[in-house]
Structure 1
Amino acid sequence: MTHYAIANLTDVDLGAGIVEYLERIDATLAPYDGHFIVHGHEPEHLEGVWAGALIVIEFPGYEAARGWYDSAAYQEILPLRTDNSEGVTMLVEGVDRDHVATDVLH
């Protein structure tokens, strides 16, 4: 099942550390077939308040998502992000295209 790495980053310092992180992250994703599907564009606010930059990276499954996050290559660059931003990061399982809202009731 498709998995997503999702982050909401706040207080991002767009200095040299984040620039280096951005220059290096794509190479860490490639071995795990990960790719950005949402990457920090300004959202259109419809309801509520949102602070931060939303990032969503798609992976073919949990093993790939977790493998990427735990990989030596990603762990090497992770401090470039965590030292230069605040935020929340998580892995989330996706749903099939035939999923309906009431499926969560079962």
Structure 2
Amino acid sequence: MPAGYVIAQLKVTNPENYKEYVEKVTPLVKKFGGEFLVRAGEFQIFDGETNFPRIIILKFPTYEKALEWYNSEEYEPIKQIRLDNSEGTNIIIKGI
């Protein structure tokens, strides 16, 4: 089965409150079998532009597991912390 990837591009609007999201999301990602591949590392833009300087890439064992994590009751209150303290885009994509 192909892996599932979560790709997020964010701009944190309230860094102090966003710290709570970082603390709470990590163990939940692990609980669903996910791992962080990229978490706001140094980067350079070569083509185009972005308004979202924080890039996160997660890998889950399957696409379905990534969807299960994102739609879980456990993630719902944690997701709200992210939504309240950042703006950006998130996608879940099936790997090859």
Return the TM-score normalized by structure 1.
0.81
Once the two structures are aligned, what percentage of the paired residues are identical?
A: 32
Alignment of 1:24-103 (within 5 A): 24-52=24-52, 53-95=54-96
Secondary structure of the residue aligned to 2:15 is coil
1:72 aligned counterpart, secondary structure: coil
Q: Which runs of 4+ in 1 moved over 3 A?
A: none
Q: Distance in 1 between matches of 2:89 and 2:38?
A: 15
Contact conserved, 2:60 with 2:66, CA < 8 A, in 1? yes
Q: Partner amino acid for 1:68?
A: W
- Give the counterpart letter for 2:82 in structure 1: R
The answer to which structure has the higher strand fraction is: 2
- Aligned-residue Cα RMSD (Å) equals 1.3
CA distance in 2, matches of 1:44, 1:64: 31
Question: Alpha-carbon deviation of 1:64?
Answer: 0.7
2:12 and 2:18 in contact (8 A); partners too: no
Unmatched segments (≥5 aa) in structure 2:
none
Higher-Rg structure is 1
Q: Give the whole-Å Cα distance in 2 for the aligned partners of 1:29 and 1:38.
A: 13
SS of 1:92's equivalent in the other structure is strand
- 3-state secondary structure, aligned to 1:33: coil
**For structure 1, which runs of at least 5 residues remain unmatched after alignment?**
96-106
